[in-house]
Amino acid sequence: MDKLTEMQETATPFCKLLGIKFLSAAPERVTAEMTVRPDMCTEPAILHGGALMSFADTLGANATVLNLPQEAWTTTIESKTNFLAPAPVGSKVIGECTAIHRGQRTMVWQTRIRNEQGRLLAIVTQTQMVLKNRG
């Protein structure tokens, strides 16, 4: 099974709740899309910042998983978001998560979120810690 299919099939319940669809999966880059539903919005009917951040966090975590050694897992230890433009209900957001640093103990990812017209909506930079079993 290829990485993209595996990522889509093993998506967490929260990822499924958000309706995230992975488009590509490689160790240095993950892309996905998400449709903005009314239950994900704030007033006036634009994507809630927390939903946007969750979208980016999901991409960064999945990108990290693609780079983990056997028996390791990950957790987010830092995330920073710059909100640049709104995403109205009914629109689609597309995220591109690229590696800034892929180390043995931490990985840093930048996710650029755009609308279907290519307008930049947000930039999220996050750090993932690599956790290993002690043995």
Q: What is the pLDDT of residues 26-80, one digit of tens each?
A: 999 999 999 999 999 999 999 999 999 999 999 999 999 999 998 999 999 999 9
Contact 20, 8 (CB under 8 A): no
**Model confidence, pTM:** 0.95
**Under a CB-based contact definition with an 8 Å cutoff, are residues 47 and 83 in contact?**
no
pLDDT in the model for residue 26: 96
pLDDT tier at 1 (50, 70, 90 boundaries)? Answer: confident
Q: What is the pLDDT of residues 6-16, one digit of tens each?
A: 888 989 999 99
Q: Are 61 and 108 contacting, i.e. CB atoms less than 8 angstroms apart?
A: no
Domain boundaries of the chain, sorted by first residue: 3-132
Q: What is the pLDDT of residues 83-112, one digit of tens each?
A: 999 999 999 999 999 999 999 999 999 999
Cβ-Cβ contacts under 8 Å for 26 (sequence gap 6 or more): 3, 66
H/E run at residue 45: none
Average pLDDT over residues 21-25: 97
The partner residues of 47 in beta bridges, in order of sequence, read 41
| Record: fold of 3-132 | Thiol Ester Dehydrase; Chain A (3.10.129)
Distance from the Cα of residue 10 to its chain's centroid: 15
What pLDDT was estimated at residue 133?
Answer: 78
Give the span between the Cα atoms of 36 and 46, in whole angstroms.
8
What is the spatial distance between Cα 16 and Cα 26, in angstroms, rounded to a whole number? 20
